[in-house]
Amino acid sequence: MYTEIVNVSYLGDYRLQLTFGDGVVKEADLHDELWGEVFLPLRDVKLFQQVFIPQDGDTIEWPNGADFAPEFLYGIGVPVLEPA
């Protein structure tokens, strides 16, 4: 299954609220996922807060180029709201 991310909101610490193209809203805590060369800088909360969706993108990204596949985020996210 593939679904893009259409909205992202920073919630605090390393938690994000993600809205997917199928209307599902999930909360993802990425604290335990921030390892490896590209993700370690995101442990700086000020950088982590700079998350965005590129204009032509389908997932979240940070200014240092780090990103996560939308399928991964969908899988680890905890549902907040299911589509009607």
Quick check: pTM over 0.95?
Answer: no
**Contact in structure between 21 and 4 (CB atoms under 8 Å):** yes
Distance CA(71)–CA(44), nearest Å, equals: 25
Which pLDDT band holds residue 63 (cuts at 50, 70, 90)? very high
pLDDT one-digit tens code per residue, 24-55: 999 999 999 999 999 999 999 999 999 999 99
Domain containing residue 17: CATH number: 3.30.2020.10
Query: Residue 12: which H helix or E strand, with range?
Result: strand 5-12
- Domain total in the chain: 1
pLDDT classification of 3: cutoffs 50, 70, 90: confident
Return d(Cα 48, Cα 40) in angstroms, integer. 10
Burial class of residue 28 in the structure, from the number of CB atoms within 10 Å of its CB (0-12 exposed, 13-18 middle, 19+ buried):
buried
Reading the block at residue 10, the tokens are 């920073």
Residue 62 structural domain: 5-81
